[in-house]
Chain A
Amino acid sequence: MTTHVIRQLAGKLGGLLLTLLLASIVIFFAVALTPGDPVTALAGGVRPTPEMIEAIRAEHHLDDPVWMQYLRWVGGVLHGDLGDSYVYGTSVASLIAPRVGISALLVGYTVVLITIVGIGSGILAAVRRRRTEKAILLGTSLGVAMPTFVVAILLIWVFGRVLGWFPVYGAGDGFVDHLYHLTLPAVSLSVLYIAYMSRITRGAIVAQQDAEHVDTARVRGLPRAHVFRRHVLLNASPPILSVSGATIAGLIAVSAVAEQAFGISGIGSLLTEAAARKDLPVVQVLSLLLVAVFVVLNAVVDVAVAIIDPDTVKRRSNA
């Protein structure tokens, strides 16, 4: 069984690297084949003279074959050289570095909310049937139709205009102030995913509660709390875990919306701005970064699921 798991994990790692490689190719070539001459963007608004064009083309190796440019780009990224922004002229790394922290904090805050409220309410809905369950189900059906931008404008109106308890613009200074400022953005990001996680959690637990092995455990006279923890929750955790992994990984891209709505300068707002201004080197690197985080997080969760429940891996590989 153990060798089986190890072989599965090795296969997963290989698949992960292959996926990353293919994704980097897709991202690079999509951008490299973009209509429009990068020289115009690199010249920074002035009409370039023929000498300037030549100099720019030479500096950015634009006359090399595309695959050479790809290898140079990937090599650079692997060594931490992320290229230069068309718009700012500075290195992409220097644009990303000061923004990573605040975006990570925002996503982390959101993940905490989703985990506590989403999984918590899901468990509650599964355990307490009838009225509690009905209320939570109603809330979650509404919640899955409440995207970040809708919750954001509701919160900005309620707290910015009516109540004024939380700031609705910027990220503040210092850790505590950051948390204070990021509360509304994190709530606006989390509502839809809380609803989603709550439904997944409830579904997984209800499915386990009706399973035969749980009945058997109950009939054996084991304490209810023990049955719930060891037989229901543990067996319900693989699907909950895989969905949370995919959710959190996708969250990083969606955080752009919260950053935009609340005027926070993070990775998401940088990506949005770069796309709007056709700052292709920035878009390339950030897309690759988001894809890498997405793929790695999903793989980590798969491994965690495999450790909890080796059967899942076996079942998936046979599917």
Chain B
Amino acid sequence: MSIAQLTRGRVPAPARRAAGRDPLVVAAAVVASAIAVIAVAGPLLAPYDPNQLYVGEVSAPVSLDHPFGTDDLGRDVLSRVLAGAGASVVGPVIVVLLSTLVGTAVAVLSAWFGGVVDGVSTRLVEVIFAIPGLVLAVLAVAMFGKGLVAPVVALSIAYMPIVSRLVRAGARTELGKPYIAALRIQGVGSPTICVRHLLPALLPSILAQATLGFGYAMLDLAAISFLGLGAQPPASDWGVMIAGGQPALLNGAPEQSMFPALLVVVTVLSVNILGARVTSWAEGADR
């Protein structure tokens, strides 16, 4: 059996079998898939125009006409939550993709070359690590203005060190193994070893970190929107909706904040459960 077969063949099957035994993981997968569908098709599923004002029905409670009630301007909360799902989910996805790609590249390069490259990139990662994600995002907003673009880029940079530290440690362990030396002796080129052999071996732990990173990114971005620095009204980003519904809490109309808040919690919860499963699978795959 070749090394490539060893590293690739064992990837999906045990994970699927393990997941099948745990009803919590199955439920989490169902919920996460549903959120993904809403994120893509939300505007089509919305029963009303998310920005239409129903003047006679301001801050209406939950009813058959408005299953999630209406907000302080008479807009249908369910339609707004569905329409805002895309923006609320895509932001964290981009953060995870960017930070994982860049972090992995930096880590693999510094583990492969060592020496000065490793020293410089480790120091750089250390500096970025010293700036909390939220601070970097706020700094980016101050520079480039409110909106989701600056915080998404800032958080991608802020999350990079976490990925990079993890992958660097994994890559150094992996590079010390005899099969890498064997490949080198056979004259296999460095890029081939890194891409075809090293990366597949590191994939489980990278995937685990990416899944968990999604939850953090979602909470951070929603917090930034809640602060009024991210997505701007009348956009129906969940963080914006939670902040917008806050005054109505004291008037006895909690629906406007609670439903988007519930969606944030449920999304993060389900992705975290999946993340924990991927992590334990990755730890198993290490051995």
Question: B-contacting residues of A (Cβ < 8 Å)?
Answer: 15, 18-20, 22-23, 26-27, 30-31, 34-35, 141-142, 144-150, 153-154, 156-157, 160-161, 168, 192, 249-250, 252-254, 256-257, 260-261, 271-272, 274-276, 278-280, 283, 287, 290-291, 294-295, 298, 319
Q: Which of B135, B246, B258 contacts A253 (CB 8 A)?
A: B135
Please give 8 more A-B residue pairs, beta carbons under 8 A apart, in addition to A145-B272, A278-B145.
Answer: A30-B143, A150-B261, A156-B250, A250-B132, A253-B132, A253-B138, A254-B134, A256-B134
Q: Are B143 and A141 in contact (CB under 8 A)?
A: no
Give Cα distance in the complex from A133 to B228, angstroms: 39
Closest to A254 in B: B134
Q: Are B226 and A260 in contact (CB under 8 A)?
A: yes
Give the interface segment out of B40-48, B75-83, B180-188, B263-271: B263-271
Interface core residue of B123, B143, B257 (most chain A CB under 10 Å): B143
Q: With A141-B273, A145-B272, A149-B226 in contact, is A156–B249 under 8 Å at CB? A: yes
Complex interface: chain B residues within 8 A of A145 (CB): 215, 265, 268-269, 272
Closest to A192 in B: B219
Determine the interface band of chain B, counting residues with CB < 8 A from chain A. Answer: 35 or more
B239 CB within 8 Å of chain A = yes
Q: Are A257 and B142 in contact (CB under 8 A)?
A: no
Complex interface: chain B residues within 8 A of A149 (CB): 222-223, 226, 239, 242-243, 261
B224 to chain A, nearest CB (A): 9
Q: Which of A161, A275, A294 contacts B142 (CB 8 A)?
A: A275
Complex interface: chain B residues within 8 A of A15 (CB): 126
B30 CB within 8 Å of chain A = no
Q: Which of B229, B251, B254 contacts A276 (CB 8 A)?
A: B229
B 233-246 binary contact with A (CB < 8 Å = 1; else 0): 00000010011011
Q: List 23 A-B contacts (CB under 8 A).
A: A19-B127, A20-B130, A23-B127, A26-B127, A31-B139, A35-B144, A142-B269, A145-B268, A145-B269, A149-B243, A150-B261, A153-B245, A153-B254, A157-B254, A253-B133, A256-B227, A257-B227, A261-B226, A271-B138, A275-B142, A275-B229, A294-B132, A295-B130
Q: Which of A146, A153, A283 contacts B242 (CB 8 A)?
A: A153
> What's the dominant secondary structure at chain B's contact region?
helix
Question: A-contacting residues of B (Cβ < 8 Å)?
Answer: 123, 126-127, 130-135, 138-139, 141-146, 169, 215, 219, 222-223, 226-229, 239, 242-243, 245-246, 249-252, 254, 257-258, 261, 264-265, 268-269, 272-273
**A-B residue pair count with CB separations less than 8 angstroms:** 143
Q: Which of B131, B227, B249, B261 contacts A23 (CB 8 A)?
A: B131
Q: Which of B139, B146, B249, B272 contacts A283 (CB 8 A)?
A: B139
Q: Are A153 and B139 in contact (CB under 8 A)?
A: no
Give Cα distance in the complex from A168 to B219, angstroms: 22
Q: Which of A30, A254, A257 contacts B139 (CB 8 A)?
A: A30
Q: Which of B123, B133, B249, B264 contacts A160 (CB 8 A)?
A: B249
Q: With A145-B272, A147-B219 in contact, is A253–B130 under 8 Å at CB? A: no
A144 to chain B, nearest CB (A): 6
Closest to A274 in B: B142
Q: Are A153 and B257 in contact (CB under 8 A)?
A: yes
